[in-house]
Structure 1
Amino acid sequence: MRSKLFVPGSRPELFPKALDGPADALSFDLEDAVAEDRKAEARTQVGALLRSAAAQASGKTLIVRVNAIDTPHFEADVAAVACEGLHLLNLPKAESIEQVMAAVAALETAERANGVTRPARLLLNVESPRGLRQAAAMAQAHARVAGLQLGFGDLFEPLGIARRDIANVHAAMFAMRLAAGEAGVFAYDSAFADVKDAEGYLAEAEMARRLGYLGKSCIHPSQVALAHRVFRPSEADIARALCVTEAAREAQARGVGAYLVDGRMVDAPFVRSAEAIVADAKRLGLLPER
């Protein structure tokens, strides 16, 4: 999931183009992108799309960002979109274990009512100081939690924290990445609002990749190619990973636990990282299956 493109739930004319586009994942938004008087209409449209043959055949990860759990729209949103086509339910403004468990309960109820046999998982948005402080606990609250996602707008703007200060961005990214690591879930980067600033998007994406993030959100189709440029192993990454995995096989045969590859000490954590790079390269068609 290198790229995740937001699609307003109230814009059904955009749905076919998004399904046919290059983004790895689509996040149909019922929250900020939808006006209050169109919430019911949007949830109906997104629910119908998720159940369509086109959505099922797209091969994309399909996500819905519902309205926050303390709004009057939350339960109706979940009831409308809980179906076989939903992969991740994106919970905005998550701040506590209690909210996560309430979201799980609502999802389970909706799935039973809708006859769902393949349960969806949760992507929790970290968008407040409390949410960031509670991130690891929330991510460990239930097996349904698949990942954490940063939301810089809600996290920074109310506090007057400058988004363009790279130190601020890095601090929040680092804190959430450690929380995700503690919980054993993925970390996903925030959207970048200035669509015309490709260099700014790339700079944040590069930082996220160096911190071990899975990918970056996109608010415009033009940002998808930028995310794909960043979140892929380079030729040098692949070459080194292949050297490490081959050396690991030889070391295992000799009963050696730590060894040198190109003058650098390698042990189990480095091997796992190299194996992940090789698997990613194969998935993206950068390396033939062997």
Structure 2
Amino acid sequence: MTRGEALLILFLGMVFSVAGLPTHCDRVVPMWCQHIPSQVQKQSLAGRSAGRTGCDLMVARCGALRGGTGRSGTEGGWSRGTLYLIVGNTMCGLLRGFDTGIIAGALLLISSAFHLEDSPGQLGIIATSATIGAVLGTAIAGRVADTLGRKRALLLGAVLSCLGSCVCTAASTVSALLVGRVVSGVAFGFYSTAVNVHLAECAAPASRGALLTLPQVAVSSGIALSYLYSVIVILWGGGFRAMLAASSVMSVGVAFSVWLMPESPRWLLQEGRGEDAKEALCQLRGGPTKAVELEWSELASSTRRSEVASAGDKGGRSV
């Protein structure tokens, strides 16, 4: 790979890192505020007298539309629970993308380490083995997330990523390398399923669409990061073990960020843990406001309707 290609990968990573954060005035405004009518962005008489700019009003209005007070109870900010939600799920997508892309660079070194220059079929199996694990992981991730919870499913995915990466790093045979990649692929399936479900159930209605784009951006950024890291390792003279070991280090960061996230209020409510569900919702929305109480009532009602519908379906099948 030439230096020009390496610089191109670096540029793409920079582009992905700033995606979705347009700026207005001298402040960064979340992109889900863009639907606010233009007149809200203009200074009102009250805003001028208070010294507030149109951008301030826009951010404050966005906070009101999201139904929460945000970080530390201030207008228009993020609550700590929402920040943990964003960071944790973004880290999961970043690791998934990194682990997906890193094998492309590692294959160049694996072929020489295991003398597979004349065995393109074996190299192809190594490259696609993670896909087999991803199919298995996707098939069981939904049941695991419903049984253990969204957070525990993601934590299990981080453990599997770390385990698969460690097996690949220590592999002395092609078979061991295949086992490690399949285990890592199972983690891909957990991330693909549990991340989207967790975000959809935890995000505020007004920002749900924007937040659900984060995993896709994170996966693309992770792939770009893996290409850049591969270039660095190759130029530095490292082997494939140095490439694959990076995923285990990232898995530790993913596990820590997921551990900090609030659990899905909807899942907690379905498990009969009403107080824990309400506490998680307050963490996500920045406090027990009237908007949170209204959202809690709607969540409880929709959960009861889902349980009744599910019970009816089971009764119909039994008949």
TM-score, structure 2 as length reference: 0.21
More relative contact order, 1 or 2 (CA 8 Å, 6+ apart): 2
Greater share of strand: 1
